[in-house]
Amino acid sequence: MTLSFDCISEIFGHLVDYKTLFSCLVANRDCCRLAAPMLWRKPNLRHPQLVETLLLGLDAVERALIPNVDRVIPNDRPALLFEYARFISKFSTNDLNRGIKSWLNDETSDESSGFIVLVPIVVMFLRTNNDFELNIEELYGITLDLGSNVTESEDLMNNFDFAGGKALALALKMNNALTSFDITNTRIGGKVAKELSDALIENKSLTSINISSNNIGPFCGKALADVLKANTPLTSLDISHTRIKSNGNGMGLLTEALFKNKTLTSLSLKYNELISEDGENLAAILCENNALTTLDISNNLICDKGGSAIAAALCKNKKLTSLIIAFNRLNINVGEAFAEALDVNNTLTSLDLSDNPLSVENGSEEFERSFNIRSTLTVLL
């Protein structure tokens, strides 16, 4: 009696013993087809053989990301039976780090190849599988760790940043399942802004982007302005500490885009050296924007004129629920303006004005009065 494939599949669904599954790989074709996906669902990528298998599964575009690829990846191995990366649902980034290092020690003496190898692996993961758990920030951090032994020159690491950025951009164009993109403090500079912005415009799944603490500068404003104008599903954007104001009109372009965007609900611009003029522009946005609910512009130089404009905007805005404007050199006049705004605004629930020169004798009494008569404001700092 011969069991049907469906019957064998049902039996395999109850197997949890890896030793048995490994034996099934060589039993027959049907058993191999069932065992391989199960073994690769959560692989232990610290083993160099598995890393090599992944590299053998790179397509032409991904292989092209590796300089002198024929010297890095063995070309005398038989063709793969499956696209193994497609089976993976979860893996340890630390194991992948160790696996790549072990594989390099086995196959090549060029330790600088580590960071070059991971880039196409990341792209392949995103290309082949929309369902597995992937933390891009962790993977990119591992890539930087693998490149820590590169001592030839700083230019090599800069070139890697560009290659890594291009790879991430390519992956984002292919993947339609990721909802969050976090590359905080990953050394990406202005060179890759255009590559990433083009990818983000095409991507229709991301709802949250965090590129804070990257030295992107004015390129960041231009790139993200294009993304916001495209009205993607993006709802949360954190570009704090990105030097968006340096040597260019990045903030101006971003402001213009915010007037047109209808989807963004949360925006962080802290630590960007914003000045009074920027505060006035943001105030104009708050008067017109009906989507933004959370705005963080703390640790800037908004000062009196910009702060007063934002306070006045709160009299008209009916959507914002949280405003953080701490550390902005706001004085008594701004304090009075916010006190008046609190009398009118009925939607704001959290207001952070901490670490501004506001004392009891120059405005806090007005805040306390407004806070006591307001039923919606629950947090006042």
Is there a single domain that holds both residue 35 and residue 48? no
Crossing angle of helices 218-229 and 193-202, rounded to 10°: 10
pLDDT in tens, 335-379: 888 888 888 888 998 989 888 887 544 445 555 565 555 556 666
Q: pLDDT at position 144, please?
A: 47
pLDDT in tens, 293-312: 999 999 999 989 999 999 99
Whether residue 208 is predicted with pLDDT greater than 80 in this model: the reply is yes
Q: Which helix (H) or strand (E) holds 237?
A: strand 236-238
The parent domain of residue 148 ranges over: 41-178
Q: Which helix (H) or strand (E) holds 323?
A: strand 322-324
Is there a single domain that holds both residue 49 and residue 125? yes
Is 146 within a domain?
yes
Is 173 within a domain?
yes
Is 21 within a domain?
yes
Is there a single domain that holds both residue 47 and residue 120? yes
Is 28 within a domain?
yes
Residue 289's alpha-carbon distances to 227, 264, 313, 353, 365, in angstroms, are 17, 10, 11, 22, 31
- Domain stop point among 150, 178, 206: 178
Is 214 within a domain?
no
pLDDT in tens, 322-343: 999 999 988 888 888 888 888 8
Is 331 within a domain?
no
Is there a single domain that holds both residue 67 and residue 82? yes
- Domain stop point among 148, 178, 208: 178
Is there a single domain that holds both residue 46 and residue 160? yes
Q: pLDDT at position 191, please?
A: 63
Is there a single domain that holds both residue 4 and residue 83? no
Q: pLDDT at position 68, please?
A: 76
Asked if residue 168 lies in contact with residue 194, where contact means CB atoms within 8 angstroms, the answer is no
159 falls in which pLDDT band (50, 70, 90)? very low
d(CA 16, CA 239): 45
DSSP conformation class of 59: -
Is 117 within a domain?
yes
pTM of the model: 0.68
Is there a single domain that holds both residue 133 and residue 79? yes
Q: How many domains does the chain have?
A: 2
Q: pLDDT at position 148, please?
A: 43
Structure tokens, 344: 């009118």
Is there a single domain that holds both residue 46 and residue 153? yes
Is there a single domain that holds both residue 22 and residue 116? no
Is there a single domain that holds both residue 66 and residue 84? yes
Is 51 within a domain?
yes
Which SS3 state, helix, strand or coil, does residue 352 take? strand
Is there a single domain that holds both residue 136 and residue 25? no
Is there a single domain that holds both residue 104 and residue 166? yes
